[in-house]
Structure formats: structure tokens, C-alpha cells
């Protein structure tokens, strides 16, 4: 539609990089898998680039498709980072469980002790992604705050 030179340069994909404890935690979770140090030269923004899914990209995705293992991996890292944020804030270690069907519908939970600190029903999981780094940061921080509030509400169950 527009001339190629009108395309936004790749550096601005995902927008500005906000100062966010969640984004730092998520990048650290991903760096922890870098056994061979091949990502050492990469910035956090580069490591999290695949979490960005613009409106155009979303529209271009096929409606019918099995969730990609890479998407499931990113989803897992996203909730791992929330679990670690929670642990830093409350001292409660939370483990993740999820259940998805082949159409990408399902549920992910974080469990600390006997407490489900976070429960999220998801659909269209093969389109898991965020328009901007700002939205990714907000999503993670909101979920981590909700999980901490749930721990505060049921502290005995979280420690059981």
C-alpha cells in the first residue's frame, strides 16, 4: 500500500522501552536459558522482541493453526517471570501449570503452597503477544500485583 521506504524501521517495533522491573525479570528468565552465552551481546529489547505482536501481524496470522512451540515457550517464560516477581515481593515460590487444547484455548495457573495465586483462562494462545513493550510490562506487572494480593488475602493457604 505504501512505498517500502515509508515502513517503520525495525528499531521502533514495540515502541519505547519502559523502565520496568517486570521486563528486566522477563529478560533475566530468558537469559537463564542461554547456556552458551550466544545472547550476551543482545539487549533486553532484542531478547523480548518476539513478545511483540503488532495489530498488522496479528491480522496477518491464520485463524486456524496449532499453537507454535515457540509461543508456548514464551507463554511459559512470561508466567515464570510473574512467579519470580511474586517470590521477590512475598517470599512465596509459585509453580506453573497449564492446560491447552489444540485450538489454543486453555488455562494457566500459578500455585504457591495450596493457593492458586493466579488463574488465567486464555484463548487464541497462538496469538500470544503484546502491541508494545509498554503493554507487555503493564500486563506482567498487573498480574504480579494481583497474585501478590491473592497471597495477602489467603496467606495460610499460600504457605500450606
Which positions lie near a copy of itself, rule CB under 8 A?
97-99, 107, 109, 111, 113-116, 119, 150, 153-154, 156-157, 160
Nearest to a copy of itself of 61, 152 (CB atom): 152
Q: How far is the CB of 89 from a copy of itself (least distance, A)?
A: 18
Cα 34 to Cα 10: distance, rounded to the nearest angstrom: 24
In the block, cell 517503520 appears at: 8
- Nearest Cα neighbor of 85 from 146, 31, 153 is 146
**How many Å separate Cα 152 from the centre of its chain?**
23
| Of residues 75, 52, 56, the one with CA closest to residue 124 | 75
152 burial via Cβ count (<10 Å: 0-12, 13-18, 19+): exposed
Nearest alpha-carbon partner for 123 in 144, 142, 101? 101
Amino acid at each position: 500500500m505504501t512505498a517500502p521506504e515509508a515502513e517503520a524501521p525495525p528499531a521502533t517495533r514495540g515502541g519505547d522501552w519502559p523502565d520496568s522491573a517486570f521486563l528486566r525479570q522477563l529478560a533475566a528468565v530468558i537469559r537463564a536459558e542461554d547456556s552458551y552465552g550466544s545472547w550476551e551481546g543482545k539487549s533486553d529489547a532484542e531478547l523480548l522482541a518476539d513478545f511483540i505482536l503488532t495489530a498488522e501481524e496479528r491480522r496477518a496470522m491464520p485463524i486456524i493453526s496449532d499453537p507454535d512451540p515457540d509461543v508456548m515457550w514464551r507463554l511459559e517464560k512470561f508466567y515464570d517471570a510473574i512467579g519470580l516477581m511474586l517470590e521477590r515481593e512475598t517470599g512465596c515460590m509459585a509453580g506453573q501449570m497449564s492446560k491447552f487444547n489444540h485450538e489454543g484455548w486453555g488455562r494457566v495457573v500459578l500455585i504457591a503452597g495450596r493457593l492458586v495465586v493466579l488463574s488465567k483462562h486464555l484463548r487464541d494462545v497462538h496469538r500470544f503477544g503484546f502491541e508494545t513493550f509498554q503493554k507487555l510490562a503493564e500486563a506482567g506487572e498487573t498480574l504480579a500485583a494481583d497474585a501478590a494480593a491473592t497471597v495477602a488475602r489467603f496467606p495460610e493457604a499460600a504457605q500450606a
